[in-house]
Amino acid sequence: MVVQAYRFALDPTPAQNRDLHRHAGAGRFAFNWALAAVRANLDQRAAERTYGLDGEQLTPALGWTLPSLRRAWNTAKPQVAPWWGQCSKEAFNTGLDGLARALGNWSASRSGRRAGPRVGFPRFRSRRRVTPSVRFTTGTIRVEDTRHHVTLPRLGRIRTHESTRKLARRLHAGTARIMSATVRHTAGRWHVSFTVQVTRTVRTPARPHATVGVDVGIANLAVLSTGQLVPNPSHLTRAQGRLRTAARTLSRRQGPDRRTGQQPSRRWQQAKTRLARAHARVANLRADGLHKLSTTLAVTYGTIVVEDLNVAGMIRNRRLARYIADVGWATLRRQLEYKTTWNGSRLVVADRWFASSKTCSSCGVVRPKLRLRVRIYTCEQCGLSLDRDLNAAINLQQYVARSGRETQNGRGADRETTLVVAGGSEATTLRHHRGG
């Protein structure tokens, strides 16, 4: 049993399009109202402390959990939003849930319970900067038997732009159960994503006893230890001209101005949609290529070995940041983690300190230094001359057998490595993902 997502494009009618925007706006309104209430409560309690008040003398704190925010909203909504009956309760719950998560992340980051960069205090959501979305967890959420329609609470039956047969077949067979549905507006089109519990049959790869090393790069998306090269399509680089033209056109149109209250022109809206679609095309092409590569590896080889790259650190290089982000190394590894589980194979993540590029794949001697511009690996011990990326891929293939042994150089890289096997389930939602 895994949790998986199915995403479909929608073709709503003009009336349904207005209803979708109304629901997304209702969620944003609830988020902003609750955030204003929380900030007012915090400011009031802070002011009272300056007067020497403490403990029970202070104004009661407003809870940050979703149930607390929901109770406060249900009490105040007849006054602050008399139109609340026009939208589903799930629209307001979407905004309140987003605020509860944001406040929880801020609190955990502030107290040190959350790892990673510091999370700031939530800010108000602007209509122009927030992606319209709404999440449904209760009510009528159904995929119709016509395989070209879905039904959502308060929105009714909406036609899909593509067939829903992949999900409909599982629902009809009883091997899937819809948990929630999220509708999002991106690049001028509405999409619906169903979060589904799926009962999957574990498969066996075509070569269950074969091990392949995968070395990712920029010139080539991946180099396999078998000698196969997967070229980097460089979708972002190829689309730079089209993106520049679209961005320049948008900058010359009459856009919104909050200071003067100027509304955007119709041509500005069209140019904005054109630019968003150009970016969405790049993201979709990248995701399609990564899905095809990860699926091919997972269904073919029994063991796949990849490197544990510090992508967040590598992307700080201003000369390579755009190219690293365009490749999508982190997305490829994330996809391999759940696809290997689905197909009966396993993913082995080599230790970050494993010198795959500096190690000779023939004799195991590690070179002290190997500059990035050197593309041919030459071993001074045994005379091996091989492409640098292919040599690294072969070392990754041999990593499982060499795990626990020390390399043969006298440098800091000759530390003992440990075998790390990654796996687990992951939703297959199509997302606009950064390379890191």
* Average of per-residue pLDDT across 233-241: 92
CB atoms within 10 A of CB 269: 16
* Average of per-residue pLDDT across 323-329: 89
Catalytic residue among 19, 97, 307, 426: 307
Catalytic residue among 90, 97, 215, 337: 215
C-alpha span between 27 and 133 (Å, rounded): 8
- The alpha carbons of the chain give a radius of gyration, in whole angstroms, of 26
pLDDT reading at 81 higher than 50: yes
**Average pLDDT over all residues of the chain:** 86
C-alpha span between 196 and 427 (Å, rounded): 9
Please give the single-letter amino acid code of residue 50: T
pLDDT reading at 252 higher than 50: yes
Element (H, E) at 215: strand 207-216
- Between residues 221 and 388, which one has the greater pLDDT? 221
C-alpha span between 151 and 149 (Å, rounded): 7
- For residue 127, what are the CA distances in angstroms to 22, 34, 178, 258? 12, 16, 30, 12
pLDDT reading at 23 higher than 90: yes
* Average of per-residue pLDDT across 348-371: 81
Catalytic residue status for 307: yes
Q: What is residue 436's predicted lDDT score, i.e. its pLDDT?
A: 34
Q: What is residue 1's predicted lDDT score, i.e. its pLDDT?
A: 83
Q: How confident is the model at residue 403 (pLDDT cuts 50, 70, 90)?
A: low
Q: What is residue 60's predicted lDDT score, i.e. its pLDDT?
A: 87
Q: What is residue 435's predicted lDDT score, i.e. its pLDDT?
A: 35
Least-confidence region, from 84-88, 291-295, 392-396: 392-396
Q: What is residue 200's predicted lDDT score, i.e. its pLDDT?
A: 85
pLDDT reading at 316 higher than 70: yes
Give the chain's largest Cα–Cα span.
Answer: 82
Residue for token pair 């498969």: 203
Q: What is residue 336's predicted lDDT score, i.e. its pLDDT?
A: 94
Tokens of 426: 């992951």
Catalytic residue among 19, 97, 389, 426: 389
Least-confidence region, from 36-45, 262-271, 367-376: 367-376
pLDDT reading at 146 higher than 50: yes
Element (H, E) at 38: helix 14-50
pLDDT reading at 84 higher than 90: yes
Catalytic residue status for 43: no
C-alpha span between 419 and 211 (Å, rounded): 14
* Average of per-residue pLDDT across 371-379: 79
pLDDT reading at 400 higher than 70: yes
> What are the backbone angles phi and psi of residue 136, rounded to the nearest 5°?
-115, 130
C-alpha span between 337 and 344 (Å, rounded): 11
Tokens of 177: 């159960």
Give percent helix, percent strand, percent coil of the chain, each to the nearest 5: 40, 20, 40
Chain centre to alpha carbon of residue 176: 23
C-alpha span between 7 and 32 (Å, rounded): 28
- Between residues 62 and 424, which one has the greater pLDDT? 62
Q: What would the pLDDT profile of 117-142 be if each residue is shown by its tens digit? A: 899 999 999 988 899 999 999 989 99
The percentage of residues in the chain with a pLDDT greater than 90, rounded to a whole number, is 57
**Could you tell me which of 212, 431, 220, 430 has the C-alpha nearest to residue 327?**
220
Q: What is residue 74's predicted lDDT score, i.e. its pLDDT?
A: 95
C-alpha span between 159 and 392 (Å, rounded): 49
In sequence order, which residues have a C-beta less than 8 Å from that of residue 50 and are 6 or more positions away? Answer: none
Q: What would the pLDDT profile of 424-435 be if each residue is shown by its tens digit? A: 333 333 333 333
Please give the single-letter amino acid code of residue 34: A
Q: How confident is the model at residue 32 (pLDDT cuts 50, 70, 90)?
A: very high
Locate the domains of the chain by residue range. 2-14+132-198, 22-111, 207-349
User: What count of residues does the chain have?
Assistant: 436
**Could you tell me which of 271, 259, 311, 20 has the C-alpha nearest to residue 158?**
20
Element (H, E) at 73: helix 66-80
C-alpha span between 325 and 314 (Å, rounded): 10
Chain centre to alpha carbon of residue 38: 29
